[in-house]
């Protein structure tokens, strides 16, 4: 008996704890990963969904073991994150949700969406919107919502709009935090989803898992191939398949893929773990990341994430191996 107690005590004492912070988009999947990996290893993960920008700052300051960001490292200039590498570990999309009483389907093109966020289209009955949707829309002002915190969803969304609209690129640009000329700020995906739910006439960009969890509709966005696609599993995977190479930096941006990717959803995005290669709990961190990139990928589709393509996985695992 005493030997068993001693064994349990030793196991408890050796259980490691990892701390992470960042992207709200990856948070639902990260929670599943943490629980499953914890069950396998006896270790635990505490994750704070504070937004991609804050996650980056926390890992750069050494406050956590890993950061999580939907925007790549190249977006952040300060503070410097010494010896940090980015590892793609999730593949999903930013949906464009809307709340117009009685409307379940909405077709949007990129330039039209840009005009809404530039404040040039202000009412749902605008002829451009009615033409795209083939029917009358209500005389209702459009309430625009955007993320007030530093967000990877904002990065993917503004990167897409900058790609498809010269005026948007010039006036707003793309980053994790931008100055939208119109709209109301909301913090995190949860508040964005809540804002859409509570406001008739609203439009907002929301990570797919939050959008589905809140039973919100997603607009079908016209891709470069001319098709309207919603951010579902196949459309996200099709966007990822359009990009074959993985650069040494692991930065893989997949918004607005080529016209040949006819089934792709154009605001799809990778999300990254950001870790220092000289981590204080290197072995434990490697174990957790290997799980996320291995068995953990199977949990993705149930939580509205697509599995990473093999080429990306191979490169990501190699990078995990470089953590000391």
Binding site for other proteins (CB under 8 A): 95, 104-105, 208, 211-213, 215, 217-218, 220, 225, 227-235, 237-238, 241-242, 258, 260-264, 298, 301, 304, 306-307, 309
Cβ-based nearer residue to other proteins, 18 or 293? 293
In order of 1, 9, 40, 47, 297, the CA distances from 12 in angstroms are: 17, 5, 14, 20, 28
Handedness of CA 78, 270, 313, 66 (dihedral sign): positive
In order of 101, 107, 190, 194, the CA distances from 215 in angstroms are: 14, 18, 12, 11
Coil vs helix vs strand at 98 = strand
CB 176 within 8 A of CB 152: yes
CB 286 within 8 A of CB 65: no
Distance in Å, CB of 259 to other proteins, minimum: 10
Distance in Å, CB of 200 to other proteins, minimum: 18
Give 277's DSSP letter. T
In order of 45, 77, 161, the CA distances from 270 in angstroms are: 21, 20, 17
Cβ-based nearer residue to other proteins, 167 or 225? 225
Distance in Å, CB of 91 to other proteins, minimum: 12
Distance in Å, CB of 64 to other proteins, minimum: 30
∠ at Cα 194 (188, 198), nearest 5°? 150
Cβ-based nearer residue to other proteins, 82 or 105? 105
Cβ-based nearer residue to other proteins, 91 or 279? 91
Distance in Å, CB of 88 to other proteins, minimum: 16
Cβ-based nearer residue to other proteins, 192 or 274? 192
């Amino acid at each position: 008996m005493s030997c068993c107690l001693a064994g349990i005590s030793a196991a408890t004492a050796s259980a490691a704890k990892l701390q992470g912070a960042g992207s709200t988009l990856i948070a639902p999947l990260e929670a599943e990963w943490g629980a499953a990996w914890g069950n396998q290893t006896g270790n635990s993960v505490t994750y704070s969904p504070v937004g991609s920008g804050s996650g980056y700052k926390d890992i750069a300051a050494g406050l956590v073991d890993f950061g999580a960001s939907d925007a790549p490292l190249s977006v952040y200039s300060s503070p410097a994150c010494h010896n940090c590498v980015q590892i793609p570990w999730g593949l999903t999309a930013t949906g464009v949700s809307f709340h117009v009483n009685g409307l379940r389907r909405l077709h949007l093109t990129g330039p039209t969406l840009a005009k809404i966020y530039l404040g040039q289209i202000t009412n749902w009955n605008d002829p451009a919107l009615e033409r795209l949707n083939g029917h009358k829309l209500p005389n209702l002002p459009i309430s625009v919502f955007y993320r007030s915190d530093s967000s990877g969803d904002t990065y993917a969304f503004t990167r897409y709009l900058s790609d498809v609209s010269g005026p948007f690129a010039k006036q707003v640009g793309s980053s994790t935090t931008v100055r939208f000329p119109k709209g109301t700020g909301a913090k995190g995906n949860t508040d964005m989803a809540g804002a859409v739910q509570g406001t008739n006439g609203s439009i907002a960009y929301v990570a797919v898992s939050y959008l589905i969890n809140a039973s919100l509709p997603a607009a079908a966005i016209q891709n470069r191939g001319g098709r309207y696609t919603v951010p579902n599993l196949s459309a996200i995977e099709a966007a990822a398949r359009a990009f074959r190479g993985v650069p040494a930096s692991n930065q893989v941006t997949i918004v607005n893929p080529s016209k040949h990717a006819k089934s792709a959803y154009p605001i799809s995005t990778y999300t990254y773990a950001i870790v220092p290669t000289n981590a204080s709990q290197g072995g434990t961190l490697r174990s957790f990341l290997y799980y996320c990139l291995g068995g953990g990928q199977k949990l993705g589709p149930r939580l509205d994430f697509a599995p990473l393509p093999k080429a990306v996985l191979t490169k990501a695992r190699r990078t995990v191996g470089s953590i000391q």
